Every structure is written in C-alpha cells, then in structure tokens.
Amino acid sequence: MARDILAPILSSDAPATQTDATHGSYTVVNDAGGVNIRDVGNASQLTLTVTVHQAPSGTSPTLDAKLQESNDQSNWSDIAGAAITQMTAVGTNTAKVPGSAATDAVTFARYVRIVALVGGSSTPTFTVTYYLYPKE
C-alpha cells in the first residue's frame, strides 16, 4: 500500500526551540516521541519541509537542514539535493528529492534522518518544525 505524500513519517509536530548548542555541528532532529530515524521502505520521493514560526533571535541567525541516509543506522551520508535553502527569518522551505525518474527505481537507502545546523552568534535561536514526507 502506498503512503500518501501528505502523511509525514517523521515530524516535530509542535514547534521546537533550536539553538546553536553544538557550535557549528549538525544535530539530529527528534520527533515528539524522541524518534529520529525512519525506515522509508520503497519511497520513490522524499520531501523535507521546514517551517520557522517566530522571528529568530541572536546575531545573524541561520538555519540549515538536510536529509541523510543509511543502510545500517550507523554510517550516514547526505542525500544529494535534499537540503533546504538556508533560512534566516519566518517562513517555510521545502526540498523535494525524487528517486530515479528514468527507471522509477528506489535510490534511497532504507533509513533516513533529518539533521539541522543553527549558526550565528549571541545564542541564535529558532522556533521550528520539521516534516519528512515519503512517496511510494
């Protein structure tokens, strides 16, 4: 049974506050239940949607988010084209990554996670939600 593109499999339903706690390192995004890795099965397309709900604080705050994949949940690599445009203000950005259009074959590893990086100075902070939508 195909999953509907409008049903997220990984989300941080309530807006969460994210700060530059790791000083320049990407951190894994957890959903409300503490889950941060999802089995995408036979997804032929992945969509990452990121929404900033309030004006960010700090000096020159930036938010980057991207998808990573793994076959073993230990070794992770970035998915080409699965990063949002850097965010600096309230709004929504989406990155849609199709599988192979030529063969309609699955081109993603089995497991996917969202990672995010907050940059800037003077404790940059974002109130943000993340959604990962698969399509089979």
Q: At CA 8, angle to CA 43 and CA 124, rounded to 5?
A: 115
Residue type, 49: T
Residue type, 23: H
Residue type, 8: P
CA atoms lying within 13 Å on the CB side of residue 81: 10
Nearest to 28 by CA among 41, 40, 8, 12: 12
Distance spanning both ends of the chain, measured CA to CA: 8
Token couple for 19: 């700060």
Residues in the chain: 136
All domains in the chain, ordered by first residue: 10-135 (2.60.120)
Residue percentage of the chain with pLDDT more than 90? 18
Residue type, 4: D
For range 50-70, the mean pLDDT: 90
Q: Is the pLDDT of residue 14 over 80?
A: no
Residue 69: phi and psi, rounded to 5, are: -130, 160
| Per-residue pLDDT, 120 | 87
| Per-residue pLDDT, 4 | 36
